[in-house]
Amino acid sequence: MTKSTRYLAFGSAAIVVFGLCTGLVAYYGGIPSLTASRVGPPELALVPADASIVAFADVRDVMDSELRQKLREALPGDQKKREELQRLTGIDIERDIDRVVAAVGADAEHSVVAFLSGRFNPTQIESLARQHGGEVVDYGGKRLIRGMRPKHPDNHSVATARVHGTAHAAKADVHPHSGDDSPALAFIEPNVLAIGAETAVKRAIDTQKSGQNITTNGDVMKIISSVATGNNVWAVGRMDHFVSRLPQEVAMRMPPIQWFAATGRVNGGIHASLRAEAVDDQAAENLRDVVRGGLALVKMQSADPKMASLAQSIRLEGSGKTVSVSFTVPAELIDLLLAKGPRGLVQN
Amino acid sequence: MQDSIRSTISNTPQHTAPGFLYSAFRVFDFSLSQMLWSRRTIFMLLVVGVPVVLATVVRLIDQLSTSAMQVNGVAMDGPAIFGMMIWMFFVRFSVPVLSIFYGTALIADEVDDKTITFLFTRPIPRGAVLVGKYLAFLASTLLVVLPSVMLVWLLVVPIRGTLGGSFIPLVKDLAILAAGFAVYGAFFAFIGAKFKRPLMIALFFVFAWENAALLFPGYMRRFTIAHYLQGLVPHTMPSDSAVTLIQSVFQETPTLGTSLFWLAVIWAVFLWLAARVVERREYVLEQ
């Protein structure tokens, strides 16, 4: 073997070995920048790995959109509510919030948490919470504000005991009906505010410490990676966690969907899509048939040209286990709605 | 006197012929450089270079554009694009075409260049010549093709996809490509050793017979290599033309065990047959 052949062999082997090692490390989640955490907002690192639904809104982008400018002009009363919120919390929703990530855990309403990322005044928010009966406790090194609702007499002693307790001690006290479902908030980072059920906010603090976040969940991240680019609003979730909670009558009629992903792109108009992943190809085909029938009905009934253009924009796509429906609300249609209200859509 | 002659003969060191594996390794050693630095390698670099260039372009377009890349109106993510490229550039094209050009030439080139006599006059089994050259073909194609696949993967998959999530399919792809080269290579090595116009037969087998057999439902597809190889590919078969659309409709995927078993059988049988042909055939060099 000549020297040049040896160099070529080593070079080729080096590329393959480098790629395989990179893939292997990424597979085990060892390089955050190479794994799915690079996909989506950084607040995903606070969402527990077993979250059933994850939603995201790029508030900054939506607020700067043409649609929002039009709404602001069309609905001037909205301004007063914003000013009231700013007076109370110091938060100007138009400027201070950049993005929101919300998550729902397997525990549904007890595990709802939203992470607001932006510029906040912690002192003002804390004093407002205290005015509403809130108390500040230390949990995992973070200041947790909780109890912002009328306290139940039975919960008082438990709450007091927790004030000086450690994070683990406080966690041990948790009882599903003892007050941990009450709203709480905590500054996880100076610019990240977590709001939600107390259990969920505590879980977010634990998640940040342990690193066992949603970015280590390959199934969810695969779907998030497919929606996180090009959309300023999206939500993805597992259906099976919720189907088991529904009444049997309803659950039986639900299509066998494993995952769903809803996306929206807000600018002058709105482009939205809803994608579902069925349990198998047959179930997806059945679902496509149902949706196809529904769409045909909608298109047949859209006699008005303006509504017809909206109906024509509805597209059914997908192959294999995937079913996807997308539609576009054009800027002209929104202008018409804002100018004349729903009557603008009716043909004279 | 006779005793002294006998003792002289017995004291003379005896040179035994090298074994089959050692002989094959020696042939592999000098054939590898010969194959890698031949004109065929330029063709091979072109074949595997196009996907890398395309992957770079796709990545650049994605970096510059804010919206998702669409193919026929359907948004595509990196892993889907990678799967499509594996099918179109590697499984359907690079593997059979490179195997044809290298596999059929293993012995045919030596015959055409009239150098086969030099190899056959060596004190090594004739079959070892073919096996050594076959191993050199396998090494040279894998040394060029696998890095190309790896570069395409590193460039394309991070587009709305994750390297971690696509790692297992990548490992499968690399194994499938290696198996493809091994099996097609063994088959075309036999064609090259047995027939006088091997290139035509090999091209007919891949582009006419295999395509036609896969097009129709029935048992004919079982007499192709593509049927077993394509059954292993972890990506969805793209339907980019009428032929592939029909193929995807009638696609009948054999089980993993069946595919592996028949690929192993085809590989072993045709490599053995090729070595046997070379052992027994009397090559007449044209003057």
Q: Can you tell me the ipTM of this complex?
A: 0.81
Residue type, A139: Y
**Lowest-confidence segment of A78-92, A163-177, B41-55, B261-275 by average pLDDT:** A163-177
**For chain B, what's the residue count?**
287
**Measured between CB atoms, which of B32, B166, B170 is closest to A5?**
B32
- B31 part of contact set with chain A, CB < 8 Å: no
Give me the mean pLDDT over the B1-11 stretch. Answer: 57
Give me the mean pLDDT over the A24-34 stretch. Answer: 67
**Measured between CB atoms, which of A1, A19, A218 is closest to B164?**
A218
Contact A196, A114 (CB under 8 A): yes
Task: Say how far apart CA A183 and CA B27 lie, in whole Å.
Answer: 76
**Is residue B235 predicted with pLDDT exceeding 70?**
no
The answer to whether the Cβ–Cβ distance between B150 and A19 falls below 8 Å is: yes
**Is residue B65 predicted with pLDDT exceeding 70?**
no
Distances in whole angstroms, Cα of residue A37 to Cα of each of A28, A31, A208, A222: 13, 9, 13, 11
Contact A279, A258 (CB under 8 A): yes
pTM equals: 0.54
The whole-angstrom distance between A269's CA and the closest CA on chain B is: 15
Structure tokens at B285: 């060099």
Q: How does pLDDT run across A175-197, given as a tens digit for each residue? A: 434 456 678 888 888 888 888 88
Residue type, B217: P
The structure tokens 């000098």 sit at: B30
Give me the mean pLDDT over the B198-203 stretch. Answer: 89
Confidence (pLDDT) at A169:
41
- Tell me the residues of A at the B interface, defined by beta carbons under 8 Å apart: 1-2, 4-5, 8-9, 11-13, 15-16, 18-20, 22-24, 26-29, 34-36, 38-39, 218, 221-222, 225-226, 228-230, 315, 317, 319-320
Task: Say how far apart CA B229 and CA B92 lie, in whole Å.
Answer: 10
**Is residue B217 predicted with pLDDT exceeding 90?**
no
**Measured between CB atoms, which of B74, B139, B165 is closest to A218?**
B165
| Cβ-based contacts of A61 with chain B (< 8 Å) | none
Task: Say how far apart CA B91 and CA B102 lie, in whole Å.
Answer: 16
- B73 part of contact set with chain A, CB < 8 Å: yes
Q: Highest-confidence range of A109-123, A159-173, A279-293, B90-104, by mean pLDDT? A: B90-104
Residue type, A12: S
**Is residue B268 predicted with pLDDT exceeding 70?**
yes
The answer to whether the Cβ–Cβ distance between A229 and B168 falls below 8 Å is: no
The answer to whether the Cβ–Cβ distance between B147 and A15 falls below 8 Å is: yes
Task: Say how far apart CA A136 and CA A139 lie, in whole Å.
Answer: 10
Average pLDDT, chain A: 75
Q: How does pLDDT run across A199-254, given as a tens digit for each residue? A: 888 888 888 888 788 887 877 887 887 777 667 889 988 877 667 667 777 777 76
**Is residue A338 predicted with pLDDT exceeding 90?**
no
Return the closest-CA partner of residue A189 out of A123, A131, A122, A254.
A122
The answer to whether the Cβ–Cβ distance between B146 and A16 falls below 8 Å is: yes
Task: Say how far apart CA A116 and CA A103 lie, in whole Å.
Answer: 12
Residue B287 CB neighbour total at 10 angstroms: 4
Contact A81, A37 (CB under 8 A): no
The whole-angstrom distance between A219's CA and the closest CA on chain B is: 8
Break chain B down into helix, strand, coil percent, rounded to 5.
75, 0, 25
Consecutive H or E run containing A315: strand A315-317
The whole-angstrom distance between A295's CA and the closest CA on chain B is: 19
The whole-angstrom distance between A264's CA and the closest CA on chain B is: 12
Confidence (pLDDT) at A17:
93
| Cβ-based contacts of A28 with chain B (< 8 Å) | 164
Q: If pLDDT is split at 50, 70 and 90, which confidence band does B71 have?
A: low
Q: Which residue has the higher pLDDT, A273 or B265?
A: B265
Q: Which residue has the higher pLDDT, B272 or B74?
A: B272
Q: Which residue has the higher pLDDT, B273 or A221?
A: B273
The C-alpha angle with vertex B28 and arms to B26 and B31, in degrees rounded to 5, equals 110
Phi-psi sector, B218: left (phi>0), alpha (psi -120 to 50), beta: left
Alpha helices in chain A (DSSP H): 3-27, 59-63, 66-74, 78-89, 122-131, 153-163, 167-173, 198-210, 218-227, 240-243, 248-253, 281-301, 305-312, 331-340
Phi-psi sector, A29: left (phi>0), alpha (psi -120 to 50), beta: left
The one-character DSSP state at B272 is H
Phi-psi sector, B72: left (phi>0), alpha (psi -120 to 50), beta: left
| Cβ-based contacts of B38 with chain A (< 8 Å) | none
Confidence (pLDDT) at A192:
86
Q: If pLDDT is split at 50, 70 and 90, which confidence band does A161 have?
A: very low
Q: If pLDDT is split at 50, 70 and 90, which confidence band does A153 have?
A: very low
Give the dihedral of Cα atoms A5, A10, A15, A20; nearest 10 deg: 130
Q: Which residue has the higher pLDDT, A75 or A48?
A: A48
Confidence (pLDDT) at A170:
42
Q: Give the residues across from A130 on adjacent strands.
A: none
Give me the mean pLDDT over the B126-132 stretch. Answer: 88
Q: If pLDDT is split at 50, 70 and 90, which confidence band does A160 have?
A: very low
Q: How does pLDDT run across B243-264, given as a tens digit for each residue? A: 665 655 555 667 788 889 999 9
**Is residue B32 predicted with pLDDT exceeding 60?**
yes
- Dihedral of CA A34/A38/A42/A44: which sign? negative
Confidence (pLDDT) at A166:
42
Angle of helix B39-64 relative to helix B95-103, nearest 10 degrees? 170
